[in-house]
Amino acid sequence: MTLRPGFAFSHPAHAIALGFGAGLAPVAPGTMGTLLGWAIASALADLSPALMLGLVFFFFAVGLWACDVTGRHLGVSDHSGMVWDEVVAFLLILAIIPAQPAWQLAAFVLFRAFDILKPPPIRHFERRYGGGFGVMFDDLVAAGYTLLILAAAQRFFA
C-alpha cells in the first residue's frame, strides 16, 4: 500500500507514526526514520542525558498511541511507512553512546542491520505483540543489541 501525504497529515497520529513524512520515502523508509532520529538528536544535543532519556520515554509513549491509531486506520498493524519506532529507538541509542561521529555512524549501521535482519528474539517480538506496542518494542530490542555491541567495542577497543 502506497502512502500519500494527504493520509500522513490527515491525523496527528499519522503524522507522528509516519515520521512527519519520512515514512513516505519510496525506498528505505526505516532508514529515513533513523536519519530523522539522528537529526532530532542533533537538534537536541545540548540537552542533558537525563532530559534526553526523559524525552525518549515520552516519545515512546506517544509512539504507542500514534502507531496503534495509524495501524488501525491503515488496516496494517506495522506498515513499513510507520517509522516513529526507528526514530525513538535511535534517539535512545544516541542518548547513551559517545557523541563522536564515528560512534554515531557505527550505531547507525548496526541499528539498521539489526532492524532489517531481525535476529532472535526481535522477529519473535515483532510477531508476538500487536498494535502500537508491537511496532515500538521490536525496535527497542534492536537498539539494545546495538548498544551491547557498541559497549563491547568500547570496552575492548577504545
pTM over 0.85: yes
Cell numbers 498511541 correspond to: 65
Torsion of CA 20, 23, 28, 31, to 10 degrees: 40
- Rounded distance, CA 129 to CA 107, Å? 26
Write down the pLDDT at residue 158.
67
Contact of 139 with 86, CB cutoff 8 Å: yes
Predicted pLDDT of residue 34: 98
Which of the four pLDDT bands, split at 50, 70 and 90, describes residue 12?
very high
Encode 67-96: b = buried (16+ Cβ within 10 Å), e = exposed: bbbbbeebeebbbebbbbbbbbbbbbbbbb
Chain length of the chain? 158
Count of domains for the chain: 1
Give the DSSP letter of residue 82: -
> What is the tens place of the pLDDT at every residue in 56-96?
999 999 999 999 999 999 999 899 999 999 999 999 999 99
Tell whether the model's pLDDT for residue 1 goes beyond 90. Answer: no
CA 66, CA 13: separation in Å to the nearest integer? Answer: 4
The Cα–Cα gap between 144 and 50 comes to 18
What pLDDT does 97 receive?
Answer: 95
pLDDT value for 126: 79
Average pLDDT, the chain: 95
d(CA 75, CA 73): 6
For residue 150, the enclosing domain spans: 5-157
